[in-house]
Structure 1
Amino acid sequence: MLNMMKYALYYHDKGFSVLPIEPRSKKPAIQFANKPSLTKEEIIKLWKQNPSYNIAIRTTDHFVIDIDTIDHGKDGFKSFQALKQQFGDALFPPTLEVRTGSGGLHLWYKKKEGYPNKQLIAWRDGIDLKAHINNYTLVPPSVSSNGKQYGWIKREIAEAPKGLFSLLKASEKQSNSNYKKLNYANSSNKNWTGRLLDELTEKHYKGARNDTIASLTGKLLITGASIDAIYSLLLNVNNNFVDETGNKAPLPLKEVNRTIQSIIEGRVRAIEQGH
């Protein structure tokens, strides 16, 4: 059996901010957002409690270009090739790389004076940028849910070229610009239906998952939509729940079904009682 504590301490000694992750998952085993890095003593205690914990590193002094396979819905490798064709291979110099258990790729680059420091979800199709201090990525020898290990491809973190920083800054500005225009265009004369549509598509957080599903179920029942349509919309909402780090954190399907069923049954009883 792999000595995961040994690896966690190795990363700590290299100056990385280490996180324990639930075995064969990407779910953090502790609350860590906006908290200091774990000490050596804390790492030993945590991995003694569960020697099978996976290991993640927070993106404090480095950032990660996270490239997904087509199995995740978008072909990040195709998008990455398009980026290199458009801007040149020099924009992405050889660096420390991690091959994920699902076949994806993490490219690590050093931050410059703390930049970049934001997360860009869907920076390109199938490509995310992990750069916020509360972002993290798993590292070898962590094991994915399919039983496959993460693995190193190179072992030195490269300096990111100025051109990459410029591209990221331009992407941030474009993202902010689009958001402001969209927000302005829809800020007036919004009716109940418009507010409901906003709720169905906006980001919701892990801590209020059950309440959110229950509330939206009730509101959707008022519209008179079919149960099938309501269920489909709520599955989409569930798939977009995130934790404090921005990582997806949906409820188990069984829990979603239980919550929806409870609200529907309550509505039926109210109708039968003439309310």
Structure 2
Amino acid sequence: IIGTALGGVEAFEKNSSLALQERYREVSPFFLTTLLGNMAAGEVAIHYKATGPNFAPVAACAAGNIALGEALRSIRRGDVDAMIAGGAEAPIIPSMWAGLDALRACSTKNEEPCKASRPFDKDRDGFVTGEGSVLLMLEALDSARKRGCRIYGEILGFGSSCDAYHITSPATDGAGGTLSMRNALADANLLPQDIDYINAHGTATVLNDLSETLSIKKVFGERSYKIPVSSTKSLVGHSWGTSGALEAAVCLLTIQHQTIHPTINYTTPDPLCDLDYVPNKARKAKVDICLSNSFGFGGANATIIVGKYKE
């Protein structure tokens, strides 16, 4: 199960341009298959001869987390012993830049690209696009033990929701993110006080960071000020449908190394975003359970909770 927001947009841009120029014989015979959102999952399945369920959640920037959540559910139901799950995205093409610019979703701090992604900072002005793919091997515990494989951690819970508010803007009261996190906690049979670290969606857009901060406060109450929250996107940009899987992997490594990565480029605190965002420097901490958010256009929200593997 490999989630994506956009599918093969590069193939679409290149081949549709040829078609519009009436250069039909130059259009690739693989154009349509490369365009389809489920082709990444299909290629991986062919390579590994994986014959179980195979599909691609298409849910904007929540797609990676939803892929992990659906894989978790498939294993819990007993449909499969193991699944490859994650996200894949390659959106860095001219038409995407034009669209994002029209939306005013991306940062315009082009003079210092390394400082452009500024989640939760008062001077944030949009995200920086990234791309890539991250896949995780999810496996039933008995099966993993039989194989004697290395176990990095456990996916404890998954929750999702919809803002039902606006195509691009998150609900201003944070209701969608709140419900997603509460659903994940309930699925994991955990309480808010059990969470040691939150990997935020943290895109560095004005509305998203404020809405997510409000969501965290609603779920965790006064304890929200004591839980470290950081944004991986400050370091690597926003890889759309890949981001949830990437950040789940980051959470597993956070548990392994007992180190929380910082939110970099955090220089001017926003009085409305007033949590502990682990500014600019990594921090050693006892972390056994992490919560990771992914929110997307269309109001899609998905939350994964991962924990330390205990023998």
Q: What TM-score range do you get, normalising by the shorter chain?
A: under 0.3
Query: Could you say which structure has the greater relative contact order, defined with CA pairs below 8 angstroms and 6 or more residues apart?
Result: 2
